[in-house]
C-alpha cells in the first residue's frame, strides 16, 4: 500500500467516527459555519506580482517533524504581516500533525484572510467540517478521487460557499478532473505516492491549464528565482510550507523571501 492509500484508509475511519460524534446538524450550528467566506481566487487573479500562500505544517510523511515548537496563531499572523495572500493550515492529525484546533487558532488570529483547509477530502461530510471551522477554500486532490466523486464534492463545496482548489500532479489527472466546479488549479510538484519533488512539473503542466483557472504551484519551492521563473508560465500563487516552517521564525522567512522577490524583479523588470 502506498502512503496515499494509507492516508485515505485512515481518513475514512476518522470520518465514520466524526459523523457519529458530530453529525452535520451539529456542525451547522457552529458560529463560524455561517461566516461570509473570503475569496482566495480573486485575491490571486487581481494581483500583478507573485502571491504567496503560506502553510502551517508541523510534520509530514516525507520529512518527519518539521518544527515541534510552533504556535499557529503567532506563525499565521506573522505570515500575514509579511504579506501572505492566503494561509493553508493542515488539519490532518495522524500524518501531518495538524488539527482543527490549529486551524481555529489561525482563523481567530486572521479573521479576514483567505484560508485553505489542507486535508484529504473524500467525503461530503468534510466540507461541512471545513465550513464549521471557518475555511474559505478546500483542496480536492485528483490522485485521491474518481472524477465523478471529485465533481460532486466540488459542487457541494461551492453550494456551501467554499472555493475549490483542484490539485493535480500530471496531465492525466488534469484531463479527467478539470471541470466546472473548480476555482483554482494547483500543480503539486511533489508526487504524493513517491514524494519525488520537481518544480519542472509546474512548467510542464502550465500550458495544459486553461487561462480561465487561477494557477498555483505547490510544494518544494525555496527561492525567489524559482517563483519568478514559474510566474512567467502563468502561476499567480505559490504554496509554501516547509521552507518557512523549518526555520525558527517562519514569518521572518516569508519576509526575507518577499524582499528577494522585490529585489529580483527590480533587477529583472521583464519578470513582472
Ligand atoms: O512544504 P512544501 O514542500 O512547501 O509544500 C507545501 C504544500 O504544497 C504541501 O504541504 C502539500 C501539497 N499538497 C498536499 C496535500 C496534502 C498534504 C500536503 C500537501
Q: pLDDT for 26-46, tens place per residue?
A: 999 999 999 999 999 999 998
Inform me whether the pLDDT recorded for 271 exceeds 60.
Answer: no
For atom 18 of ligand 1, the residue with the nearest CA is 118
Cβ-defined contacts of 218-227 (< 8 Å, 24+): 218/167, 218/186, 218/187, 218/188, 218/189, 218/190, 219/188, 219/189, 219/190, 220/189, 220/190, 221/189, 223/257, 223/260, 224/257, 224/260, 224/261, 224/263, 224/264, 225/264, 226/199, 227/50, 227/257, 227/261
* C-alpha cell belonging to residue 127: 466540507
Spatial CA neighbour of 150 closest among 173, 129, 172: 173
- At 203, list the grid cell: 512548467
119 within ligand 1 shell (Cβ under 6 A): no
- What pLDDT score does 172 carry? 98
Closest ligand 1 atom to Cα of 220: 3
Residue with cell 471541470: 179
Q: Report the candidate in 208, 251, 201 with the shortest Cα–Cα distance to residue 226.
A: 201
User: Does the beta carbon of 136 sit less than 6 angstroms from any atom of ligand 1?
Assistant: no
Task: Map out the domains of the chain with their CATH numbers.
Answer: 3-271 (3.20.20.70)
Q: Is 169 in the pocket of ligand 1 (CB under 6 A)?
A: no
- Rounded CA separation 121/125 (Å): 9
Q: What is the rounded average pLDDT of the residues 98-119?
A: 98
- Residue 105 is predicted with a pLDDT of 98
Confidence of residue 127 (pLDDT cuts 50, 70, 90): very high
The residue whose CA has the least distance to atom 11 of ligand 1 is 219
Could you give the percent of the chain with pLDDT greater than 70? 98
Q: Are residues 103 and 96 in contact, defined by beta-carbon separation less than 8 angstroms?
A: no
State ipTM: 0.99
Q: What is the spatial distance between Cα 87 and Cα 107, in angstroms, rounded to a whole number?
A: 9
Rounded to the nearest integer, the mean pLDDT of the chain is 96
On the question of pLDDT at 265 being above 90, the answer is: no
pLDDT value, residue 120: 98
What's the confidence (pLDDT) of residue 272? 58
Amino acid at each position: 500500500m502506498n502512503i496515499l492509500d494509507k492516508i485515505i484508509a485512515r481518513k475514512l475511519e476518522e470520518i465514520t467516527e466524526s459523523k457519529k460524534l458530530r453529525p452535520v446538524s451539529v456542525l451547522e450550528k457552529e458560529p463560524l459555519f455561517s461566516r461570509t467566506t473570503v475569496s482566495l481566487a480573486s485575491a490571486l487573479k487581481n494581483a500583478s506580482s507573485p502571491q504567496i500562500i503560506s502553510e502551517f505544517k508541523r510534520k509530514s510523511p516525507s520529512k518527519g517533524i518539521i518544527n515541534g515548537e510552533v504556535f499557529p496563531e503567532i506563525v499565521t499572523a506573522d505570515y500575514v504581516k509579511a504579506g501572505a495572500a492566503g494561509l493553508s493550515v493542515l488539519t490532518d492529525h495522524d500524518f501531518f500533525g495538524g488539527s482543527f484546533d490549529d486551524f481555529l487558532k489561525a482563523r481567530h488570529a486572521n479573521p479576514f484572510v483567505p484560508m485553505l483547509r489542507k486535508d484529504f477530502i473524500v467525503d461530503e461530510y468534510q466540507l461541512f467540517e471545513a465550513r464549521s471551522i471557518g475555511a474559505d477554500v478546500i483542496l480536492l486532490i485528483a490522485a485521491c478521487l474518481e472524477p465523478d466523486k471529485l465533481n460532486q464534492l466540488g459542487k457541494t463545496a461551492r453550494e456551501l460557499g467554499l472555493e475549490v482548489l483542484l490539485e493535480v500532479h500530471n496531465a492525466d489527472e488534469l484531463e479527467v478532473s478539470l471541470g466546472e466546479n473548480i476555482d483554482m488549479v494547483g500543480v503539486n510538484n511533489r508526487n504524493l505516492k513517491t514524494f519525488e519533488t520537481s518544480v519542472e512539473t509546474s512548467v510542464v503542466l502550465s500550458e495544459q491549464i486553461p487561462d480561465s483557472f487561477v494557477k498555483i504551484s505547490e510544494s518544494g519551492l525555496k527561492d525567489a528565482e524559482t517563483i519568478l521563473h514559474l510566474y512567467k508560465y502563468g502561476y499567480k500563487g505559490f504554496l509554501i510550507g516547509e521552507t518557512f516552517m523549518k526555520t525558527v521564525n517562519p514569518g521572518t522567512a516569508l519576509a526575507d523571501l518577499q524582499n528577494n522577490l522585490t529585489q529580483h524583479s527590480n533587477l529583472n523588470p521583464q519578470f513582472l
